[in-house]
Amino acid sequence: MTINDLDSAGSISALRPARRGAAPSRDGARTRAWLAVLAVGATTAWLGVVGVRALLAAGDLAQVVSTARGRTIAPALLVFVGVILLAERLWPAVPRPLFARAHLVDLGYLVLFATLVLPLLTVVETGVAVEVDAHARFLILSRLSVVPEVVVIVAILIGIDAMNWVAHVANHRSLALWRLHALHHSQEDMSVLTTFRTHPLVHATYLPALFPALILGASGTVPVVGIIVYSCLITLPHANLRWTLGPLGRIFVSPAFHRFHHVSTPLDERGSVNFGFALVCWDQLAHRAVFPTGAAPVQTGISGRPVPIEQSASGAGTPRVVLAQLAQPFRMRAETDQPW
């Protein structure tokens, strides 16, 4: 994916047939998207098996999973999320009840990520590292003795953010990947917890973000504090706050900036904008950055509600809706394949 690829229409609609009556072409695209989702699932499972075998052989499985959980869902991150939730109560962009069903569902996705998805993702990432070491070791640079370690660490974090941006764009440009990513965009009552409202399989699409660390790992390892700071930076943008971060908002993604990415109706002919995770520079380079102006917060979600959402169900029906959210990408005819 290059920046020049973004000169065309900027949403998943760019991938769909230009003529709505072209049913055979649309059906073919649906079938290919369905098969691609299955392929992503199969590839992820295979990498997981490779990772489990490697960790079991080294006797490190439990320790590696525990360490990954400690770095990713660190107490400091949970405290940060709690502070932002409090800020949302004091200065909400859009007032919401404290125990809004949407927030409780997002909290459920956080629990799912911490208890199930993160351990599985850890072994999959290990599988990627094993395969790179076995088949693409030429990508791994030896120690760069003339470069200070702190510079390498900063380069790794910037590289991770760049790869996350590219993967995020791909999630919007590919019909198959959009099936997995649409769940994240379905939230109409955004909060900081919406960060974790993701389909478990969508994390596989962000595996390229491992490459900066794999390539430069011999010259420096990102310390836990660096990972926590980056995690906080990519969690804050989903907050239900009007914060623009002032001058820093021209460097880091703010809640007001990222809310434009979740808008239910495109802001202009460019379609989706503001793909950045932590840094806004990638969107600026791609002419996809739209900065907040202080206007009223835009409505979030997906027009037409192609993804089942809890706002349309009774409290008792919410578990069923969540299961439908997780199952939808695997349907032959997913509603997310339709134009909105």
The 10s digit of each residue's pLDDT in 315-333 is 668 889 999 999 999 999 9
Asked if the structure places residue 135 within a domain, the reply is yes
For residue range 103-144, list pLDDT tens digits in order.
999 999 999 999 999 999 999 999 999 999 999 999 999 999
Domain that holds residue 252: 24-337
Asked if the structure places residue 85 within a domain, the reply is yes
Asked if the structure places residue 18 within a domain, the reply is no
Query: How many independent structural domains does the chain possess?
Result: 1
Rounded CA separation 158/275 (Å): 15
Q: How many CB atoms lie within 10 A of CB 283?
A: 22
- If you ran DSSP here, which 8-state letter would residue 117 be given? I
pLDDT mean over 24-48: 92
Residue 271's SS3 state is strand
Asked if the structure places residue 232 within a domain, the reply is yes
Q: What is the pLDDT of residue 339?
A: 58
For residue range 249-290, list pLDDT tens digits in order.
999 999 999 999 999 998 888 889 999 999 999 999 999 999
Contact in structure between 188 and 102 (CB atoms under 8 Å): yes
For residue range 37-48, list pLDDT tens digits in order.
999 999 999 999
Rounded CA separation 109/112 (Å): 5
Asked if the structure places residue 331 within a domain, the reply is yes
Asked if the structure places residue 8 within a domain, the reply is no
Q: For residue 149, what are its two tokens?
A: 């370690």
- List all residues 6 or more positions away from 305 whose beta carbon is below 8 Å from its beta carbon: 186, 312
Q: What is the pLDDT of residue 237?
A: 98
Q: What is the pTM of this model?
A: 0.90
Q: Is the pLDDT of residue 166 over 60?
A: yes
Rounded CA separation 231/177 (Å): 23
Asked if the structure places residue 11 within a domain, the reply is no
Asked if the structure places residue 243 within a domain, the reply is yes
Q: For residue 311, what are its two tokens?
A: 């706002």
Q: What is the pLDDT of residue 299?
A: 95
Q: What is the pLDDT of residue 295?
A: 85
Rounded CA separation 16/227 (Å): 38
- List all residues 6 or more positions away from 212 whose beta carbon is below 8 Å from its beta carbon: 155, 156, 158, 159, 160, 162, 163
Rounded CA separation 259/301 (Å): 10
Q: What is the pLDDT of residue 338?
A: 76
Q: Which long-range contacts (CB under 8 A, 24 or more apart) does 112-116 make?
A: 112/196, 112/200, 113/73, 113/196, 113/198, 113/200, 114/69, 114/73, 116/200
Rounded CA separation 198/29 (Å): 23
